[in-house]
Structure 1
């Protein structure tokens, strides 16, 4: 079942520098939610707080009402959270299928001892997970590459592999960090359809993205950040026409000239 994500007064400081200032919003279950803003706005820092890579200095982050602020990434998997990164971290010499199967490590029953002696239930689970991984690759148009080394595929296809790996963990909440970066137009169109299918499979999706066409096509709501502060919240169309957002993206003088 899709998860609810709630942030309240999230702050992040590194020494004397405040990166995030009292950021708060709520993502309803089953929404596709966009997190946008100019370079340096704090988007990736906020993603890192949600996914456990940074510990907020203060504030609350909840998944389905459970406080998860400061939890480690491995612990957040139990809350149904999965994440992709702007630059996918793959095992390049391993096959595409093997890379996807890495997303299932928390789903195998038992522990290392049981895995090492190949207990029957471990073997059954591995077969099932392999079949699920292949189905995800086929659905994403990557079935043909399942047994190829990941290093033989393009950067855009690496993003598809990473997305399949995230989905194999069985998330209720999926964070996508600039999934369209470096993709040609045809692959962006395919990405839009893929994310819609993920939402239809009862997953809440939060996207950090600079590609405003993708944000406009996909999202139910967006939050715009600027210098670590929440600038506005609304639809993508409202954000694109908001004078504060225009100024944040292109600068006050250019905004005045455009007016």
Structure 2
């Protein structure tokens, strides 16, 4: 199958420190792919390279065979990429619905002039997007909170808001950074069901950074394990959980606050 995302020899250096070292892998279209590893392995740094928040020192990142390495996040949205963050970046004084609608900025036709004048075609598009946003919120159990300020909801519910915001952009490639962090067991189970349904219903490829191995095992088709910025293993979640080198990497990690 064709690769929705392709990385070749991606390197990232900060002040002489190697953060990523020749990372290469393919993610097939419509796959759910896991990126795992101990603290400090380089997972979030790699996510930042893919999503345009970091520029790799060298190497290639392609979406649907289009080279995107070094592009800004705003330009990557045009290639169908959307991302959530470990700590959701929400407008806390805005309503839940208003936060979700921020994900539709690439889909609203026209430009600043037509938006400010609220021309008829702009108003129709806004109405349609609002209906889509409300449907997404209903899907993740937040429909009744659509008009509530975001700061009145818990961290776990903020994750659901951010997921809806990302989905409203109609991504082909969705990056999820620690989506299970702060969620209850029931919320994790609901999240797993939602992501599986999204993949089954549409043309969406998901890449997940996650420490919750139960979620990784339940969701992913394949995983890459990183350790000290290098690829330690590529295979299934079951293979990763039984691989001696992977087990050693996890057990040998120091209990510190090193960057993931």
Asked whether the two chains share a fold, i.e. TM above 0.5, the reply is yes
Once residues 15 and 249 of structure 1 are traced to their aligned partners in structure 2, the CA distance between those partners, rounded to angstroms, is 26
> Structure 1 residues 90 and 3 mapped into 2: Cα distance closer, same or farther (>3 Å)?
farther
Q: Alpha-carbon deviations, 1:159-207, whole Å to 9, x = none?
A: 0000000000010000000000111101000010111122122210000
Instruction: Compute the TM-score of the two structures, normalised by the length of structure 1.
Output: 0.95
Deviation for aligned residue 1:133: 0.3
1:33/1:219 contact within 8 Å kept: yes
Runs (4+) of structure 1 exceeding 6 A deviation are none
SS where residue 62 of structure 1 aligns?
strand
Number of residue equivalences: 251
Deviation for aligned residue 1:251: 2.1
* Alignment match, 2:194: 194
Q: Are 2:27 and 1:36 aligned?
A: no
Deviation for aligned residue 1:3: 6.9
Q: Alpha-carbon deviations, 1:181-238, whole Å to 9, x = none?
A: 1111010000101111221222100000000000000000000000000000000000
SS where residue 4 of structure 1 aligns?
strand
1:33/1:206 contact within 8 Å kept: yes
Q: Alpha-carbon deviations, 1:81-123, whole Å to 9, x = none?
A: 0000000000111100000000001111111011111111100
5+ residue gaps, structure 1, are 253-259
Q: CA RMSD in A?
A: 1.1
* Alignment match, 1:221: 222
Instruction: Compute the TM-score of the two structures, normalised by the length of structure 2.
Output: 0.95
* Alignment match, 2:76: 76
SS where residue 206 of structure 1 aligns?
strand
* Alignment match, 2:248: 247
* Alignment match, 1:169: 169
SS where residue 108 of structure 1 aligns?
coil
1:3/1:203 contact within 8 Å kept: no
Once residues 92 and 252 of structure 2 are traced to their aligned partners in structure 1, the CA distance between those partners, rounded to angstroms, is 41
2:30/2:206 contact within 8 Å kept: yes
Once residues 172 and 207 of structure 2 are traced to their aligned partners in structure 1, the CA distance between those partners, rounded to angstroms, is 11
* Alignment match, 2:258: none
Q: Are 2:144 and 1:144 aligned?
A: yes
1:50-69 to 2 correspondences below 5 Å: 50-69=50-69
1:192/1:217 contact within 8 Å kept: yes
SS where residue 93 of structure 2 aligns?
coil
SS where residue 20 of structure 2 aligns?
strand
1:11-22 to 2 correspondences below 5 Å: 11-22=11-22
Once residues 61 and 11 of structure 1 are traced to their aligned partners in structure 2, the CA distance between those partners, rounded to angstroms, is 11
SS where residue 116 of structure 1 aligns?
helix
1:5/1:61 contact within 8 Å kept: yes
* Alignment match, 1:204: 205
SS where residue 70 of structure 1 aligns?
coil
5+ residue gaps, structure 2, are 254-260
Once residues 8 and 244 of structure 2 are traced to their aligned partners in structure 1, the CA distance between those partners, rounded to angstroms, is 25
SS where residue 107 of structure 1 aligns?
coil
